[in-house]
Structure 1
Amino acid sequence: MPTPFSPSDILPVLLTLAIAALGGGLATVLGLPAGWLMGAALAVTVAAMLKAPVRIPDALRNVIFVAVGMSMGASVAPDSLSMLASWPISLAALAIELVIIVASTGWMLTRLFKLDTGTAYLSSFPGHLSFVMGIAATGVGDARQIVIIQVIRILMLTIAVPVGAMFLPIDSFTPPAAGSFMTPLDIVLLAAGCVAVGLVFMWIKVPAGLVLGAMAAATGAKLGGLYDGAMPTPLVIGTFVLTGALIGSRFVGITRAELVTTAKGGLIATAMTVTIVTVIALVVAQLVDMPFGQIWLGLSPGALEGMGALGIALGYDTAFIAAHHVIRLLMLSFAIPAVVVLIRWAERRKVDG
C-alpha cells in the first residue's frame, strides 16, 4: 500500500538524498565500481542501519522507476544487434553462460539459503545492477538481500583489477565516450512515452510495470532510430544516486542475522559465477584461436572498465572484450524482464493451485 507523505517528511527526504549524493560522490572519487550507484546505496544503507530517518516517498519512487527504465533503454547501443554475427562461438558461449549462472546460483540461493524465488534469481543476474535494483525496489524479491548479494559479487569480481593494475603499465581504461547527447526536447518526449508505456504495463499487471514499460519504450525507440544520442551525464548520475537512495532506504529494520546469512549467499554465488565463467572460457579456447585470458575477460561478468584495463595492459583485443560486455547487457535487458514475468506467473499459479 502507498504510504502517505506529509510536509514533516521533507527533511528526512532531503537528508536521504544528501547522504546518497555524498556517498556516491565519495565512491566515485575513490574509483569504486559503479560509484554513484554503489556509493549512494551503501551510504544510505549505513544511515538506515544507524537508525537515521531516511525516507523516499512513493511519488519520488515512481519517478525513479521511470528514470531507471529510461536510462537502461537509452544506454542500448544502436549497433548492438549487428555485433551478434562477429564472434558467433564466443557469443553463443556467453548466452549459455548467462543461463547457467542464473539458473544454478538462483537454485542454490533458493535451496541452500531459503530465499524466495524473486530474491534468489534477481540476485543471480551478473550485471545491469541499476536495472536489477530498480526492479527489486518495486517489490519483486527482497531488495535488501538482493543489494547485499550484488554488492558482494561486484566487489569480489573487481578486486583483481586494482591488484593487477599495480603490476601493469596502465592507469585506467575509459569506455568510449558518447558521440552525442539527447536534446531537452528528446528527453521530454522520451520520458512522456516511457510514462505512457509504463502505465500500460501497470494496467495489464506486468511486474515492475513502470520500470519495464519505460525500458521497453526507450529501447524500442533507440533501436527504431527515433533518437540516437545518449542521456546527459548529470541525468544518468542523478538516476543512479536516486536508485541508490531508494535501495538503501529499504534497509530500515534489517537484522544482523539477516545481513550475515545473505552475505554468505553472496560469497558462494560469486564463487560459482567465477567457476562457471572459467570453465566456459576454457571450452571456447579450444574452439577459437584466441588467448584464454582475452576470452575470460570478454565472458567475465565484471565491469567493463576493469576488464578493459586488464585487456589493454595485456595486449588483448579490447574491441572483443567491449563487444561481449555490451552484448551481455543487451541479453540481460531482455532476460531480466522475462524471468521476472515467469517468477510472478509461477507465484500466481502456486497461490491459485
Structure 2
Amino acid sequence: MPVVLTLAISAAGGGIAMLMGLPAGWLMGGALAVTVAAMMGAPVAMPDGLRNVVFVLIGMSMGASVAPDSLTLLSSWPISLAALAVELVIIVAATGWMLTKVFKLDPGTAYLSSFPGHLSFVLGIAATGVGNSRQIVIIQVIRILMLTIAVPIGSVFLPIDHFAAPVKGAYLNPLQLVLLAAGCIAVGLVFMRLKVPAGMVLGAMAAATAAKLGGLYTEAMPTPLVVATFILTGALIGSRFVGITRKEFMAAATGGLIATAMTVSIVTLMALGVAQLVDMPFGQIWLGLSPGALEGMGALGIALGYDTAFIAAHHVIRLLMLSFAIPAVVMLIRWQERRATINE
C-alpha cells in the first residue's frame, strides 16, 4: 500500500538521521528519504485526509510548545516584522532577476518561483497561464526541502543556538488529547471556511495555544505522538516530488538550488541584524524569518526547542504580505507582457 510504504520510508530515514545524532532527525531524515524514493519512482502517496491529520497534529504540537511568556515578548516583534517585510522584497527582486537573466526563464515562471511561500496560491495563479507550473513546483519544493535539511545541519556546524527539549513532568492523557484534537479540528475547519492560508495548521495551533495560555492544560504532548508528527511531516514534504521526472528535476534544479542559497543568505543576514536589536535566540529569529512552509518550520521549532508562537506569528504575517504581493507582481508582469506585445 503506497501510504504505508511512504510512512515506512519516512520512519526509516528519520531513524537513521537520529542515529547519526542530527537535530530534528525524524523530520529531516524522513523528508529526504521520501524525496529520494519519489524521485526513484517509488509509489509514494499522502492522501488529502492524512495530510489534514498531519496539519492538525502539527498545530496541536506547536500550540502545546508555546512558551508561557510568549505574550511578554510581543514588544520586540515589530523589529523582526519590519525585517520580514524588507526581506521579502529583496528575495523576490533578487531571485526573480537571477532566474530571468541567468537561467532565461520567462518572467512569470521566474517571479512566481521566487515568492517565498504561499505555494497553493502561486500554483493557482500559474494554472491560469502565468509561467510554467511544473518548473515553479520544482523550484518551490526544492526550497522547502533544502530549508528543512539545512536548518538542523546549520544548528550543528554554525553558531545557531538550539535548546534541548525541556524535561516534561507530565503528558496529556488520552481524554485530554481527544478533547484538544476536537477543538483544534473545529477551529481549523472554521479557518479553512474563512479561506485563511494554511487554515488547518493555523486553526489547530490557535485552539491549542488559546487553551494552554487560558490554563486549560499545562501538560506536554506525548513523545511518541511528537515523533509520529515529525515522521508524517517528513513524508508530507517528500511526497511533493511525486510526478516530477528526473529530467524535469534536473532542468530546474540548478536554478532552484541557487535561488534557495540566495534566499538563505538574505534571511541569515536579516536575522543577524535583528539579533543585534532584540534579546532572542538567533535560531528562533531565523526560523521566524525563514521562507519555509509553516508546517516544516513549525515542526523544526518544536524539535529545536524554540518559541513556536513567535515562529507561527511571523509566518502568518509573511503569508498575509504575500497575499497582496503576489497579485501585484503578476499584474505588473502582465502589464509588461502587453506592453512588449504592443511594441512588437
| Runs of at least 5 residues in structure 1 that lack an aligned partner in the other structure | 1-10, 123-134, 166-171, 289-293, 304-324
Which residue, out of 37, 42, 54, partners 2:27? Answer: 37
Please say if 1:77 is aligned against 2:67: yes
Match of 1:228 in 2: 218
Which residue, out of 172, 182, 185, partners 1:182? Answer: 172
Mapped partners of 1:345, 1:52: distance in 2: 38
Please say if 1:248 is aligned against 2:238: yes
Please show how residues 238-317 of structure 1 align to structure 2 within 5 Å. 238-254=228-244, 255-281=249-275, 284=277, 297=282, 301=286
Amino acid at match of 1:265: A
Please say if 1:334 is aligned against 2:324: no
The alignment of Structure 1 onto Structure 2 pairs a total of residues equal to: 288
Tell me, yes or no, if the aligned pair for 1:95 and 1:331 is still in contact at 8 Å. Answer: no
| Runs of at least 5 residues in structure 2 that lack an aligned partner in the other structure | 100-108, 124-135, 289-304, 332-344
CA change 1:184–1:229 in 2 (3 A) is: same
Please show how residues 123-272 of structure 1 align to structure 2 within 5 Å. 145-153=139-147, 162-163=156-157, 174-254=164-244, 255-272=249-266
For the residue of structure 1 that corresponds to 2:237, the secondary structure is helix
How big is the shift at 1:295?
Answer: 8.0
CA change 1:47–1:176 in 2 (3 A) is: same
Tell me, yes or no, if the aligned pair for 2:23 and 2:155 is still in contact at 8 Å. Answer: no
Give the alignment's Cα RMSD to 1 decimal.
Answer: 3.5
Tell me, yes or no, if the aligned pair for 1:201 and 1:209 is still in contact at 8 Å. Answer: yes
Q: TM-score, normalised by structure 1?
A: 0.69
CA change 1:217–1:96 in 2 (3 A) is: same
How big is the shift at 1:116?
Answer: 5.5
CA change 1:115–1:335 in 2 (3 A) is: farther
Mapped partners of 2:215, 2:113: distance in 1: 34
Mapped partners of 1:155, 1:201: distance in 2: 29
CA change 1:95–1:342 in 2 (3 A) is: closer
| Partner deviation per Cα, 1:65-97 (whole Å, 9 max, x = no partner) | 211222222211122223557xx6xx6654544
Tell me, yes or no, if the aligned pair for 1:158 and 1:302 is still in contact at 8 Å. Answer: no
Match of 1:104 in 2: 90
For the residue of structure 1 that corresponds to 2:317, the secondary structure is helix
Structure 1 window deviating more from structure 2 (32-41 vs 338-347): it is 338-347
Amino acid at match of 1:104: I
For the residue of structure 2 that corresponds to 1:229, the secondary structure is coil
Mapped partners of 1:205, 1:302: distance in 2: 25
Tell me, yes or no, if the aligned pair for 2:61 and 2:226 is still in contact at 8 Å. Answer: yes
Tell me, yes or no, if the aligned pair for 1:140 and 1:208 is still in contact at 8 Å. Answer: no
For the residue of structure 1 that corresponds to 2:241, the secondary structure is coil
How big is the shift at 1:148?
Answer: 2.5
How big is the shift at 1:221?
Answer: 1.3
How big is the shift at 1:63?
Answer: 1.2
Mapped partners of 1:232, 1:21: distance in 2: 18
CA change 1:68–1:120 in 2 (3 A) is: same
How big is the shift at 1:299?
Answer: 7.1
Mapped partners of 2:175, 2:84: distance in 1: 37
Mapped partners of 1:98, 1:337: distance in 2: 11
Q: TM-score, normalised by structure 2?
A: 0.70
How big is the shift at 1:260?
Answer: 2.0
Mapped partners of 1:246, 1:154: distance in 2: 12
CA change 1:118–1:76 in 2 (3 A) is: farther
Mapped partners of 1:248, 1:342: distance in 2: 27
For the residue of structure 2 that corresponds to 1:301, the secondary structure is helix
Mapped partners of 1:72, 1:185: distance in 2: 19
